[in-house]
Structure 1
């Protein structure tokens, strides 16, 4: 359990301290009377943007949130199964302690759902031949460099209430890797058409909890990761990559074991490597 729950026990983004949680104290089944997690919800979340819940520990709404269900347009179900509710009346992280209560930078109590498109192609030499290593082909994928932490990541994003994972995959790739938000109406339409065509076939490689540095004891990230593979190198070759709103850079990166990625993204890309029988 602890092996999949490490990034969310380190320094919180923005250099906010957590209560230190050792590996043997992660599980809620371990009694730990001395546990005193830091209570933190980022100011941007406390301001009450449309993508965030209110503080249900302090404000009791007329209609209480429906945890473990689809609550109106908000999906509060978890891929991990039914999660428990703690003594303050909000969800408890099903994987274990993180050293922080509240929501941190996350908007929803409980699961915060995202979608991650993993766009891949084979690495090729100047003659167009597929490059191999250890008798296996090398994969490349579209990666963005996050502005908030400088780490390379999959160009994914949050699933808005009422949106489907499929729609989010297309939207996030267009915004993060093709900068559709700053495109003219004509360019935006062209980008949307390209992405729609490119994303017509995909293979789900992961659906579940994410070991994300933003996680807390009461709010955590979950995602669906889907691989869109260009076997010939012609489809995505026509796409112009351009870093979007949350990206400092965008590039085709080799999928290698030495490439450090944000949150659990190495796990997701590793599943793509296995799926495509590529070298790692």
Structure 2
């Protein structure tokens, strides 16, 4: 009874926020209820948006799934994901899929969700890859044809479930590495199959060395790097941040380690 009362208040709050009612109108509730209601508000806003952007029927089914009264079919969630415009709805749908569905159901959702957003040519390629139970390297063409980060992330969800998290992480790292090499020099290239034999740490190390060499071509090995002074190393690290702004903190830290491993701890600390 208490839960139903708070749920109703959450619905009223969302309805008020989405309406033309004066914003200074009040919604009274007990102070001890506030924490629970605040947790429910995003869910109720998602339900409201689904009703607005997709249909009331879809919103009811999604709300039932949130409350655990009925398990919504994958097809319904795929329809919501396709028709909804709000990022909040799309994230809510995927969170429900990731937390409430088994692996086969999650795989089905991401396959159907991605397929309906592809071009005809991409759909043919995607279907061909799935039907043949292709190897991971065969996904390169499709991966690079997807210009949207959202579509790539959905393909990555499929890749992680199909090939395993570590294998797909290596695949994505190699794709990014190849793109970086193409920008560094047209002559530079790597063989995918050879890199896949290495562990992720080795691939990242090779990626870092290639980036360092793109800044200073003399730095072809660690012996040359070891001859540099702290100020020169700091300059290289600064240029790396400019040229590779999307590198995560772990990769930036690995770069610093590879550049400064020959220095004393005090000298390393001098370099930002």
Q: TM-score range by the shorter chain?
A: under 0.3
Please report the TM-score for the alignment, with normalisation by the length of structure 1.
0.26
**Larger RCO (CA within 8 A; separation ≥ 6):** 1
**Which structure's CA Rg is the greater one?**
2
Please report the TM-score for the alignment, with normalisation by the length of structure 2.
0.27
Instruction: Compare the two structures and name the one with the higher strand fraction.
Output: 1
Instruction: Compare the two structures and name the one with the higher helix fraction.
Output: 2
